[in-house]
Structure 1
Amino acid sequence: MNPNALEVKAQQRGWKVISEHDSAGPMFTLVRDDWEIWVAFAGDIPDSATLRKPGTTEHRRLPLRDIGMWVRRDPHEMSRFAIGDHVTVAGRHGIVTDIRLGVSRLKKHAEKIRLVITYEDGGTGSPYSDQAARVMVKS
């Protein structure tokens, strides 16, 4: 994805685009809700990218092939949960420890958002975000 295509696609999908430029090429910071994607280009080719998910301050390396899949995800689906949220899934209570793209093995494209949940009664799960409900925790 070239810089112009990324900027247009991001704006169409509701991302705020902050652009900078250095001697290697353009750099974009895309912000939507509590999500942040940073992409640096070498000329017109993506060179490196990071992703910061809601509920964390940590930026993690983002595979270049995944940039477009994250940019195109539904904003309502992405904004439903943050890392650290208390949730319930089919009667089991747990905490969101990660948020990932569900990927179709047959079609090799991103599907819905998946949550990684550590359950209070033991074990982990990876349900789609629409299968979980946020639980209000009393302080």
Structure 2
Amino acid sequence: MTDAPAFDAPFEDVLAAIAFNGDGLVPAIAQAEGSGEILMMAWMNRDSVLETLRTGRVCYWSRSRGALWRKGESSGQVQTLKDFRIDCDGDTLLLIVDQQGVACHTGRRSCFYRAVRNGALETIQEVETDPSILYGKHAH
């Protein structure tokens, strides 16, 4: 088990507080511990929430694969959970994480590497790690 934070409330209470959508999913925003940088957004289902809380290693639900997605499983870019927060409506999660390496499959620190500047789309973060190194030939 990783260095998981302690959660006092029973997990059933946690699950009851989450407003999963019609597909059984809830958006989860990953934010870097310390800097507050928003790293990514992904989906979680009941099983990925439970695995994340039980292990302290962030697990999402991959809609494209139809399976649990343990962040860093193939890339080594693991997210360790530091805090698990639920918004006021229960329909969005905020995961405070310790991010090892980059969070984005493009090899950038954050998935939010593009911004609108003066009416045009601009890349504001450069690639830190070649995706082919992270994922082999099959980068998604």
Same fold per TM (> 0.5)?
no
Higher relative contact order (CA 8 A, sep 6+): 2
Q: State the TM-score, normalized to the length of structure 1.
A: 0.31
Larger radius of gyration: 1
